[in-house]
Amino acid sequence: MELFPASDSEKWNLIQGVIDLCDYYVVIVGGRYGSVDDVEQISYTEMEFDYAVEKNKPVMGFLHGNPGKLIAERVDLDPELREKLEKFRAKIENKMVKYWNEPGDLPGQVALAIMQTRKSHPAVGWIRGNHAMTPIVQQELVELRARVRELSAELHDEQRQGSLMFDPADLMQGDETASLRCQVEFHYQWRIDAKDAFARNRAHGIWVVKPTWNDVFKHIGPELMDEASEEYLRERLTALCDRLTREDLLDDDDDDDNNNNDADGVEGDAKEDRRVGAIYDVEVTLDSFNDVKVQFSALGLIANGSKRRPGSDTNTYWRLTDRGTQQLLRLRALRTAKSDGIGSTAQLEQSETRS
């Protein structure tokens, strides 16, 4: 009753709202009929009961077993109210009913009735916040958080692109040459021929490979589709340098360009055969690796990673931007023969037959 507002109509709206939120309805009746609504001419308690029944709420009634023995101040002396109480008791007795005689009887009876009703009519109940997190909701939250990170990264990319102080068209890119310096550990062919090739006398030098910027991006781009650490990215660039260096140096023909384009800093006492006979290790220099990072970052193709990682992970991560993804798809996505203007043999044969 302390929740009741001033007007009767507002009271009833409040009562209805409370009942709507409940899973079960418990009515306890002693020896009095209760406050009567001026319009309906029945008590608010009976109005509640009727509304709960109308809304198919499981009803549990607890009636005093012998209201005639109650003291006068706890019963209605008005004959009309006593008659309405008897009719109301009869209405309740059509539902599940327990009878009580002393207030001490009620706690056990009510608790037992609620447990039985919960089993026979299970309902949602009041759910604590930490129990409301179902697997479906958890998955939705994970997906939403991932989407927020993606959108934040895209916004960062757009802001960074807008803040560039130069025109990307002025930068080297595409089919222009990217000169990558590689540290090479090798043996000359003459040492191998002389059976003088040992670990202690391996030569060390610098070899410059010259792929295009598109070649470099095609090679490392797929690794960045789901982010890659800077260490792994350098390994992938080294793999490209290793392949191209071997193609350049491990060539058996006697072309002067191959034989005379020696690595910088090789031993001065090399004999007449300047060919490289075996390569043991190739690694892209740090300067060349940094040049690649800076160039692709300046072109708006890559950006720092945005995924959350544990604090113990101190690696730097890189990822493709939207522009980088589109560029990679243009370079590496496989196209059908039709896109090159070439039809299948069957199509050509059908064309000849029709003509």
Residue 339 tokens read as: 């896109």
Co-location of 98 and 184 in the same domain: no
Q: How confident is the model at residue 2, as a pLDDT?
A: 63
pLDDT tens figures, 120-144:
888 877 776 666 667 787 888 888 9
* Integer Cα distance of 17 and 263 in angstroms: 86
pLDDT tens figures, 35-45:
888 888 898 89
Co-location of 106 and 15 in the same domain: yes
Q: Is 137 inside a domain boundary? A: no
Q: Is 111 inside a domain boundary? A: yes
Q: How confident is the model at residue 128, as a pLDDT?
A: 67
Residue 176 tokens read as: 């222009």
Q: How confident is the model at residue 21, as a pLDDT?
A: 86
Q: How confident is the model at residue 161, as a pLDDT?
A: 60
Q: Is 347 inside a domain boundary? A: no
Residue-number span of the structural domain to which 28 is assigned: 8-126
Report the number of distinct structural domains present in the chain. 2
Q: How confident is the model at residue 1, as a pLDDT?
A: 61
Co-location of 80 and 179 in the same domain: no
pLDDT tens figures, 291-336:
999 999 989 899 888 888 887 888 889 999 888 999 999 998 888 8
CATH number at residue 185: 1.10.10
Residues 6 or more apart whose CB falls under 8 angstroms from that of 117 comprise 24, 58, 60, 96
Co-location of 182 and 241 in the same domain: yes
Co-location of 187 and 56 in the same domain: no
**pTM for this one?**
0.48
Residue 79 tokens read as: 């004959």
Co-location of 331 and 182 in the same domain: yes
Low pLDDT (below 50) residues in the chain: 254-270, 342-355
Whether the Cβ atoms of residue 293 and residue 178 lie closer than 8 Å to each other: no
